[in-house]
Structure 1
Amino acid sequence: MRQRRALVTGGSGDIGAAIARELAARGCALLVHAHSAPERAQAVVEAIHAAGGQARAVCFDLADGAATRAALEAELADGAIDILVHNAGIHDDAPLAGMQEAQWRRVIDVSLHGFFHVSQPLLLTMARQRWGRVVALSSVAAVLGNRGQANYAAAKAGLHGAVRCLAREMASRGISANVVAPGVIAGRMSQDLFDEAQLKAMVPAARMGRPDEVAALVAFLCSDAAAYINGQVIGINGGMG
């Protein structure tokens, strides 16, 4: 059986890196994507190599449709990309009343337009082989809302609708598409945001989640065993909602 290839966008971040490592540990050959931090993506690749896995770093701007398509066409020349995990996303928080248009557009460009740019070129190849997995990373903010994150929540909530449509369109071709919506996950972006009392008030589990917990869920959704899970938004948030 051919080794499956997986692309993880935003693979240089804490969650993306954990997902890339987990998929590599399960036998996939990884493409670890980054845009602004290629050196961190390369560090993830080196960690995968050290553990005996296969990986390469790729760098392109998901907000640029032409650049993304060109990068993917070059990769597809070497064979199908069987698994796409769209984890890339950015924050640029402000109350909506004071938010600049550039803040709104950039956040949506990366998470939502980026999903189209990176997924659309891969789908026909997945369909021809009658197997594929698409997982988009969302956020509890898209489900519950969060002050100062209208742009982020809108971008991530848009993924819910896009993925549900994609699941209906492609399920008969052996392709599943699902959303994973994490809550508060430990890492660089969250380490200084909440004290212990705030966490206990927000999260019934009274702790942050770990990137490896998110990665385990994503890797399961990318497996053969999860073939009948399709079009779902699955929270991993310690009971937040």
Structure 2
Amino acid sequence: MTASAELAGQVALVTGAAKNIGRAIALELAAAGAKVAINTRASRAAADAVAEEIRTAGGCAAVYIADIADATAVQRMCAAVAAELGTVNMLVLNASVRREIPFTDMTFDEWRQVMAISLDGSFHCVKAVLPGMIAAGGGNIITLAGDTALTGAVGKVHSSSAKSGLAGMTRALARELGPRGIRVNCVSPGHFDTTRPAYRAARPAAHGNIPLGRLGAAAEIAATVRFLCGAGGGFITGQIIHVNGGQWMF
């Protein structure tokens, strides 16, 4: 992790940041100088390891355990972040539930589990940090969707629907909050090389459909988030940035 001062003095809250893409985003923002609040619902040991990696590199990080589907837990978490690290300037909504279930087998509870994290959780987090961003005169909100929000996918009716909702939420918030100096964008990953078994299983088949001939790396999503939060992304809001190696060209 090479430190820079691009985001020095700013505070980033990254949900679902203990592993994979969330972990990479936390490391990248810390490398740019941000103080990072690492959220996880249950992966305490993994989150602690991310925080320790950031501190070892000279950065500032703290771990916050909270289920973002719980509005009260989110309010407590964000109050703690503000007290310990400062006002949240960057909110990265990465937490999600990824389970492939055919719609014919899907229960309403399984549907709601996905919606509760992706949509309800995003609502709770934005509501909690928004007063601080407004008082500070600006901020950045980044949602993480996925190309299946537009293409659809077998076994992913719940997650495709939730991610489509996030895309709509991103655009609506961008219009509403732009006059307050708050930019809202969505990063949409394609196929990525992570530790998740479903992603590993997709590796051979995915390569043939990707013009660049490989899966993406989590660091490439993280770099996109960093750009959007930095000065270079200062005139970008309400956009869905597809990072997919050209697999889908929207």
Question: How many angstroms apart in 2 are the aligned matches of 1:18 and 1:177?
Answer: 20
Q: Which residue of 2 aligns with 1:234?
A: 241
Aligned with 1:213: secondary structure? Answer: helix
Pick one of 101, 118, 128 that aligns with 2:135: 128
Is it true that 1:3 corresponds to 2:13 in the alignment? no
Residue correspondence of structure 1 range 73-152 to structure 2 within 5 A: 73-78=79-84, 79-152=86-159
Q: Is the 8 A contact 2:25 2:225 kept in 1?
A: yes
Q: For each residue in 1:188-215, what CA deviation from the matched residue of structure 2 results, as whole angstroms up to 9, or x when unmatched?
A: 114531243x123332222110000110
User: Who is 1:208 aligned against?
Assistant: 215
User: 1:173 offset after TM fit, Å?
Assistant: 1.4
Which of 193, 199, 216 lines up with 2:201 in the alignment? 193
**Cα offset, 1:69, TM superposition:** 1.2
Q: Aligned runs of 1:214-229 on 2, under 5 Å?
A: 214-229=221-236
CA distance in 1 between counterparts of 2:133 and 2:230 reads 15
What CA distance in whole angstroms lies between the structure 2 residues aligned with 1:139 and 1:52?
A: 32
Q: Distance in 2 between matches of 1:104 and 1:202?
A: 29
What's the offset of the Cα at 1:109?
Answer: 0.6
Alignment-mate amino acid for residue 239 of structure 2: Q
Residue 43 of structure 2 is matched in structure 1 by 37
Please, which of 55, 63, 74 is the counterpart of residue 57 of structure 1?
63
Q: 4+ runs of 1 displaced by more than 3 Å? A: none
What is the Cα deviation at residue 2 of structure 1? 7.2
Q: One-letter code of the match for 1:192?
A: R
**Aligned residue type for 2:176:** E
CA RMSD of aligned residues (A): 1.4
1:46 aligned onto 2:52 = yes
Identical pairs, percent: 36
1:167 aligns with 2:174: yes
C-alpha distance after superposition, 1:46-75 (max 9, x if no partner): 111111111011110011111111221232
Q: Deviations over 1:124-157 (max 9, x none)?
A: 2111211200001111111211110000111111
Instruction: Answer whether contact 2:8 2:33 (CA < 8 A) is retained.
Output: no
- Shift in Å, 1:41: 0.7
Taking the aligned partners of 1:149 and 1:2, their CA distance within structure 2 comes to 39
Tell me what 1:17 maps to. Answer: 23
- The alignment partner of 1:176 has SS state of strand
| 3-state SS in 2 of match to 1:110 | helix
> Matched residue of 2:143: which SS?
strand
**Residue ranges of structure 2 left out of the alignment (5+ in a row):** 1-6
**Could you report, residue by residue, the CA deviation over 1:29-49 in whole angstroms, capped at 9, with x for unpaired residues?**
000111121111111001111
User: What is the Cα deviation at residue 224 of structure 1?
Assistant: 2.1
Q: How many residues align?
A: 240
Select 1:27's aligned residue among 33, 38, 45.
33
5+ residue gaps in structure 1? none
Work out the CA distance in 2 between the residues paired with 1:117 and 1:180.
Answer: 19
